[in-house]
Amino acid sequence: MHVVVMGCGRVGSAVARRLEQVGHSVAVIDQDPAAFRRLGPDFGGRQVTGLGFDRQTLLDAGIDSAGAFAAVSSGDNSNIISARVARETFGVQHVVARIYDSKRAEVYERMGIPSVATVPWTVNRLIRELLSVKVSELWREPTGKVSLMRVTVTDPWVGHRLSELEAASGARAAWLVRFGESQLPTATTILQDGDQLVVAVTDEITARVHDVVERGTEGAER
C-alpha cells in the first residue's frame, strides 16, 4: 500500500521508516527540506517539500494512489485541513490526524477521522502508571458505542480461565500482553499474575467490567 505522511518531525519520520520497513511505499511531505534528514540515508520513499494541504503537493506525493494518509505535523490546523483534503477531496480510505487540542480531536473522531490527541494520551498514560489503575480506556471507535480497555489482571483472577472473566464481565478479549509480548489468547487461556488484557466493551457494561476486575468472582455475583 502507498502511504503519505505529512510532517517529518520525530513522529512522522519514525512512522515513515517503520512503514517502509514492513513493505509499504511511503511519501513524506514537509515544508522544511532539512527535516528529511531525520529519515536517514536508507529511506527510499519520496520526499516532497510543500504544504500538506496543497493539492499539487499532495499529488506529487502520490495521494491519488494512496491507501492511507497520516497528518502528524506540529500544527493542529495544518493536520486538520490536510486530513480533510485527503479524505474528502482524494477519497483516501484510512486517514489519521495528530491533534494537540483534545476538544478538536473529539470533533474529528465524530466526523470519522481518527485522531491522536497527544497531550491527553500522555497524561492518561502517566496517571494509569502512577496510580496502578486496573481498568482504563485505550481507544473508542468513531460512533462511540464500543471502546477498547486495558485490564490488568488482579489477584482474584490469577489462575482462572479467561473465559470466566469474559463471562463475568461481558467483555471480549482482543489480545493479551504477557512478559511484554502480545499474543492472541483463547477461551482456555489461564490468567497469570502480571497479565494485561485489551478487551472490547460497550458503555453499558463498563461499570461491571471495573467491578468484576477489582472484586473478582464476588463482583461477578453482584
CA dist., res. 108 & res. 96, Å (int): 10
Within this chain, do residues 175 and 205 fall inside the same structural domain, yes or no?
yes
Buried b (16+ CB within 10 A) or exposed e, 110-139: eeebbbbbbebeeeeeeebeeeeebbbeee
In a domain, 50, yes or no: yes
- Residues 164 and 107 occupy one common structural domain: no
CATH number for position 29: 3.40.50.720
Strand order in the sheet with 172-178: 135-140, 146-152, 196-202, 172-178, 181-183
182 & 89 share domain = no
User: What is the arithmetic mean of pLDDT over 186-194?
Assistant: 90
Residue 121 has pLDDT above 60, yes or no: no
Pair (91, 146) in one structural domain: no
Residues 198/175, Cβ–Cβ less than 8 Å: yes
List pLDDT tens digits, range 2-15.
999 999 998 899 88
Do 115 and 148 fall into the same domain?
A: no
What pLDDT, on the 0 to 100 scale, is given for residue 33? 95
| Residue 53, in any domain of the structure | yes
- 92 and 147 fall within a common domain: no
* One-letter amino acid of 181: E
Reduced to 3 states (helix: H, G, I; strand: E, B; else coil), residue 23 is coil
- Where does a domain end: 71, 92, 121? 121
Q: How far apart are CA 162 and CA 187, in angstroms?
A: 6
- 114 and 140 together in one domain: no
As given in the structure block, the three cell numbers for residue 17 are 521508516
Instruction: For helices 102-110 and 76-84, give the axis angle rounded to 10 degrees.
Output: 10
| Mean confidence (pLDDT) of the chain | 85
Is residue 100 within 8 Å of 130, Cβ to Cβ?
no
Highest mean pLDDT among 28-42, 79-93, 192-206: 28-42
Is the pLDDT confidence value at 122 over 60?
no
Which amino acid belongs to residue 61?
A: A
CATH number for the domain that contains residue 177:
3.30.70.1450
Task: Over range 109-118, report the average pLDDT.
Answer: 64
One domain for residues 108 and 185: no
Q: Is residue 213 part of a domain?
A: yes
Same domain, yes or no, for 102 and 138?
Answer: no
Q: Do 85 and 137 reside in the same domain of the chain?
A: no
Task: With respect to residue 18, please indicate whether it lies within any of the assigned structural domains.
Answer: yes
Burial class (CB in 10 A: 0-12, 13-18, 19+), 91: exposed
Please give the pLDDT value at position 139: 84
Q: State the Cα angle at 25 between 20 and 26, rounded to 5°.
A: 75
Total domain count, the chain: 2
Which domain covers residue 155, as residue numbers?
132-220
pLDDT of 167 > 90? The answer is yes
Q: Which of 121, 145, 161 is the last residue of a domain?
A: 121
Asked if residue 17 belongs to a domain, the reply is: yes
Asked whether the beta carbons of 201 and 171 are under 8 A apart, the reply is yes
Final residue belonging to a domain, choices 97, 121, 145: 121
Question: Which range has highest mean pLDDT (19-23, 46-50, 124-128)?
Answer: 46-50
Percentage of the chain beyond pLDDT 90 is 52
- Contact between residue 72 and residue 118 where contact means Cβ atoms under 8 Å apart: no
For the stretch 127-148, pLDDT in tens is 444 445 578 888 887 777 898 9
State how far the alpha carbon of 215 is from the alpha carbons of 132, 156, 157, in Å: 15, 7, 9
